[in-house]
Amino acid sequence: MAQSQNAVSMDEELSSAKGSMGLERRERLHHTIQSLMKLRQDVIVSYCEMAGVSSFSQRNLEDQQVKPDELRSFCQIMVDYTAMGHFEIYQRIIEGKERRKAVKAVADEVYPAIAETTDYLIDFNDKYDAFEGTPDEIEMLKGDLAKLGQIISIRGELEDQLLEALAAK
Per-residue pLDDT tens digits for 114-136: 999 999 999 999 999 999 999 99
**CB-based contact 29:89 (threshold 8 Å):** no
Q: Mean pLDDT check: name the lowest of 6-15, 52-61, 72-81, 160-169.
A: 6-15
Which DSSP letter does residue 58 get? E
Sequence spans of domains, the chain: 29-167
End-to-end Cα separation, the chain, in angstroms: 39
Strands 58-59, 53-55: parallel, antiparallel or unpaired by DSSP?
A: antiparallel
H or E, element range at 117: helix 101-127
CATH 2.10.109.10 for domain 29-167: no
CB neighbours of residue 133 within 10 Å: 14
**Cα gap 90→114, rounded to integer Å:** 10
**CB-based contact 158:113 (threshold 8 Å):** yes
State the Cα angle at 121 between 118 and 124, rounded to 5°: 150
CB neighbours of residue 71 within 10 Å: 22
Per-residue pLDDT tens digits for 73-110: 999 999 999 999 999 889 988 898 888 999 999 999 99
Per-residue pLDDT tens digits for 32-75: 999 999 999 999 999 998 887 765 555 544 456 789 999 999 99
